[in-house]
């Protein structure tokens, strides 16, 4: 007797084409599926090793159509790799189906080089992407790697698919792409942690919980004002305090660039280790 899930899959596996295929069902895959379907109205095929329900929870990527084998997603025009590189390679190594796929492969796995992916999908168009997830926005801005070996036709076809997600920033050098891909997600998270630490330092002398909450709101309100104006001018003078308070604070910071550069270099080194692993 087959399960309900197997019965559902059996009813749809006769389909030969859909817009997008997803390998993975985590936060990125869920955002990709939702954004794709809202902005295109096309279907999404989904596969994950752990299946549609994780630990008995509600169905993940509920907007998509689940397939029982990972090769089922290759029925789509384009696929998105939304799992860790090693897990993906364990799936596709020596796969005849992968070798025959002629669509677009959009890889969000930073540990997988384009060269490695091209060996795995020799007939496909390989595009490395760095998606930046923003809550409550029906788009996914992306950094995209356009390498020189792509033909104009390949690029235009792949770009037409990626345009469905929102704004694209395009670079042509893989090393630059690797560094810049850290800026929008991983680095932003680290800097946010530093900002939260700064907020905690600012309210440390307060003892009342209500005052602490108010102090943190005031801090982030000022920060938001600076960020809003940053693109137009140096925002350091936008918030004025009496008697040179801001000036003394800025002078006492020391060389923060070196500190942040050291942290960023550690993250870059870890990214390089992951790529070297393969």
What ranges do the domains of the chain cover?
A: 4-173, 186-277
Around 201, how many Cα atoms within 13 Å sit in the side-chain half-sphere? 6
- pLDDT in the model for residue 60: 83
What average pLDDT is seen over the chain?
Answer: 83
Output the pTM of the full model: 0.74
Q: Both tokens of residue 110?
A: 């930073």
Distance (Å, whole) CA 146 – CA 79: 17
15: confidence class by pLDDT, cuts 50, 70, 90? very low
Residue 261 to residue 267: CA distance in whole angstroms: 10
**Are 18 and 40 in contact, with CB atoms under 8 Å apart?**
no
pLDDT tens per residue, range 223-264: 887 777 765 555 444 555 566 777 777 677 777 888 888 888
Q: Which residues 6+ apart lie within 8 Å of 193 measured at CB?
A: none
Q: Is the pLDDT reported for residue 64 higher than 70?
A: yes
What is the tens place of the pLDDT at every residue in 163-214?
999 999 999 998 899 888 888 777 778 888 888 888 888 888 888 899 999 9
Question: Nearest-CA neighbor of 64 among 25, 6, 15, 11?
Answer: 25
The residue with greater pLDDT, 136 or 2, is 136
* CATH 3.40.50.300 matches 4-173: no
């Amino acid at each position: 007797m087959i399960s309900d899930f197997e019965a559902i899959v059996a009813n749809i596996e006769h389909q030969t084409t859909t817009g997008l295929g997803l390998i993975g069902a985590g936060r990125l895959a869920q955002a990709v599926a939702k954004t794709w379907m809202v902005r295109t109205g096309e279907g999404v095929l989904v596969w994950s090793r752990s299946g549609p329900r994780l630990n008995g929870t509600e169905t993940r990527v509920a907007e998509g159509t689940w397939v029982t084998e990972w090769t089922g997603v290759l029925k789509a025009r384009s696929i998105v790799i939304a799992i860790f590189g090693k897990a993906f390679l364990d799936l596709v190594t020596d796969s005849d189906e992968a070798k025959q796929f002629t669509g677009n492969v959009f890889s969000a796995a930073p540990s997988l080089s384009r060269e490695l992916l091209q060996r795995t999908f020799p007939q496909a168009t390989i595009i490395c992407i760095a998606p930046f997830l923003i809550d409550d926005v029906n788009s996914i801005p992306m950094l995209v790697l356009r390498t020189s070996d792509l033909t104009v036709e390949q690029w235009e076809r792949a770009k037409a698919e990626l345009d469905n997600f929102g704004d694209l920033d395009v670079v042509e050098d893989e090393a630059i792409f690797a560094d810049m891909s850290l800026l929008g997600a991983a680095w932003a998270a680290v800097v946010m942690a530093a900002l939260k630490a700064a907020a905690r330092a600012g309210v440390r002398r307060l003892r009342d919980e209500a005052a602490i909450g108010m102090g943190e709101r005031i801090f982030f309100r000022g920060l938001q004002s600076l960020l809003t104006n940053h693109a137009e001018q140096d925002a350091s003078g936008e918030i004025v305090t009496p008697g040179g308070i801001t000036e003394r604070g800025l002078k006492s910071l020391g060389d923060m660039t070196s500190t942040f550069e050291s942290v960023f270099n550690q993250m870059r080194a870890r990214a390089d280790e992951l790529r070297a692993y393969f």
